Structure formats: structure tokens, C-alpha cells
A and B are shown apart, each in its own frame.
Chain A
Amino acid sequence: MNNVLQQTVDSLRARFGDAVEEVREFRDDVIVVVGRSAIVDVATWLRDNETCPFPLCEDVFGIDAWTRKQRFEVNYHFFSLTCKQRIHLKVRVEENDPSVPSITGVYPGAGWYERETFDMYGITFPGHRDLRRSYMPEDFEYHPLRKDYPLMGIPGALPLPKRG
């Protein structure tokens, strides 16, 4: 971890305390696991801080960890134009309550990514103004990227026109 990111992570820890649950590093990528309730505040701080602001939200996506506890993860990538650094946030949620506060108020660009995550994993984002399915048809019932959804789909879940 280089100095700039180390400083950012230290400030995050100092500012948000227990909300920063874990900091990991793998192949120079820094992953910060954040508590669900703190994500909007952390995102706002990352965008607005003085030393290394992260104005670009590159990506928001889900992961199905397929574990008994905290099955779903929502991941965020932010990029800093001034420091040329990237930071990766992660929020873990339970299977029976898959919802994470929306960061569209902070990063409007996250809107479609949250829609995609909702479409693929069924994770809802309270605070999102237009949380529709982004890829699958509106009357589709399942969330295809969940690990319990088969690769070839469920027969009959998506209708086809008659050959006629």
C-alpha cells in the first residue's frame, strides 16, 4: 500500500472508527470493508476530502459469497484523478435483508450500477429514485447471478413467441 492510500485508510479509520470493519490488501489492491449504515457517509467523505478526493465512481456491483452469514456483498470502486489511486469498498449484507443505502445522492453515476445489482442479485438500494430492472424483462421473477440460479435458466421463466 502506498503512502497516499495508507493515509486515506488511516483517516477513514480515525473518522469512522468501528464502521471500518476490515482492511485487506491483495496484489496492491486495497479493499476496505465498511459497515452498511456508514457507506453513504464514507462515500461522501471520500468524494469531498482534501488530501485525496475520489470524484469518479467507477463501479458498483454485487457478489454472491454463498455463505450462511452475510451472503451478499456490494462492492464499490472509486478513482482519484489527482492522486491516480483506486480504492475498493465492500459492504456485506445478510440474505434475508439484502439492502444497502443508495449512494446516488453522492455519485449520480452509481444509479445504473445499482439498478444492475438489483437486477442481478435482488439487493435493494433505499434512496434510489428509479430502481428498475436494467437488463432482464420487467416481469422476470428471478435474479440470475445468484449462485442458486442455473446457468441455462429456469425453463419457462422467459417466454418466447410462438413459431406459427
Chain B
Amino acid sequence: MGLESALGEGYLTTQLDALVGWARKNSLWPMPMGLSCCAIELMSAGDPRHDISRFGMEVMRFSPRQSDVMIVAGTVTYKMAHVVRKIYDQMAEPRWVIAMGACASSGGMFRSYSVVQGIDQFLPVDVFTAGCPPRPENLFNALIKLQEIVQQSSVLDYRNSNEPIIVS
């Protein structure tokens, strides 16, 4: 490579997208939007057995300003949807959303008057996670898939780089 020989040793050329993607994917700070049963499995994911910190994303921050990915864990009702959206709007870009569990993904088993049938009606979702609730392992699967998405996304237009994916 011409440029690297001109710069001398200790330099490495890469694409900006790849570099930024690599940096972003390894420092994802989740915002746990714990709403119901899935929140308990989300807590289990942080326990000594499952240990979410193995993936470099254990820094659960309850402040939306400090987080990059919102894990919507649980049933979203119409009353709560406004709150979820408000917190999402407060997150700094770039931001991603994981719909954890059947309820957040599609309303799940709660086909009733008060439950939103899938949070993609009011939030852009990147990863849908199956399970009611998903086991912590499946949450890790979703987070690793999200890391892949983040790695592949473009710096200028991260939002439209990828289609949402479903993990199960």
C-alpha cells in the first residue's frame, strides 16, 4: 500500500466507516427500559452466571443521555408508549433499539385493548428478540447481532444502513 509506506511504521489505513463502526460496537452502553417480566431476565443477564460484561456492554445507564442502545424489555402499553418514545428522543444519536421479547416485538400473548401490538409502530427497531421472556443467552445473541449491524453501518447514514433483523 502506497500510503502506509509513505507514513512509515506504526500507521494503519482503513475506511472511516470500519474504524468508527469498530469503536462504536465495542462501547455500546445499554439503556435498560425494563417494563415487565423481561426486565427480570435482563437483570439475570447481568448476574454472576451470565455476566453481560463479557461483551463490553454491561454499563447499564438509566440516563438516556449516556446510552447508545435502548433495550425495550417488556410489554409496552399505550400509556407507557409516550414515555418510551420520550426517553428514546432524549438519547443522543447514534442510537439503536432492541425489542426484547415477544411483547415488545409484536404485542406477544397480550392481544388486548391496552397493549401496543409491537413497538415498531412508534420506534425504529434494529433487532427483534424472540422468547417470552428470552433467555439471557438470547439477549446476548441479540446484542452480538446488533454489534454486527453497528459494525456494518455507515457513519453518515447509520439509520438506513440495515434492515431490522430477528433473532431467536
Which of B81, B111, B113 has a CB less than 8 Å from the CB of A160? Answer: B81
The CA-CA distance from A137 to B82 in the complex, in Å, is 11
Flag A144-162 by CB within 8 Å of B: 1 or 0 each. Answer: 1000011111100111111
Instruction: Decide: A161 and B82 in contact? CB cutoff 8 A.
Output: yes
Instruction: Tell me the interface secondary structure of chain A in the complex.
Output: loop
Bitwise interface map of B from 150 to 166 toward A, beta carbon under 8 Å scored 1, else 0 = 00000000000000000
New A-B pairs, 7, CB < 8 Å, besides A152-B113, A160-B116, A162-B122? A152-B111, A153-B114, A158-B79, A160-B78, A160-B81, A161-B81, A161-B85
A-side residues, CB < 8 A to B, are 135-137, 144, 149-154, 157-163
Q: Which of A150, A151, A158, A163 contacts B78 (CB 8 A)?
A: A158
Chain B residues with Cβ under 8 A from A150's Cβ? Answer: 113
Binary per-residue interface labels of chain B (116-127) against chain A in the complex, 1 for a CB within 8 Å, 0 otherwise = 100011111000
Q: Which of B98-147 contact A (CB under 8 A)?
A: 111-114, 116, 120-124
Count of B residues near A, CB < 8 Å?
A: 16
- B120 (CB) vs chain A CBs: closest residue: A163
Mark B residues whose CB is within 8 Å of A: 78-79, 81-82, 85-86, 111-114, 116, 120-124
**B79 contacts A160, C-beta separation under 8 Å:** no
Q: Which residue of A lies closest to B84 (CB)?
A: A161
In the complex, the answer to whether B124 meets A151 with C-beta atoms within 8 Å is no
Is the pair B121, A151 in contact by a Cβ cutoff of 8 Å?
A: no
* Cβ–Cβ contact B85 & A151, under 8 A: no
28 interchain pairs, CB-CB under 8 A: A136-B114, A137-B78, A144-B113, A149-B113, A150-B113, A151-B111, A151-B112, A151-B113, A152-B111, A152-B112, A152-B113, A153-B112, A153-B113, A154-B113, A158-B79, A158-B114, A160-B78, A160-B116, A160-B121, A160-B122, A161-B81, A161-B82, A161-B86, A162-B122, A163-B120, A163-B121, A163-B123, A163-B124
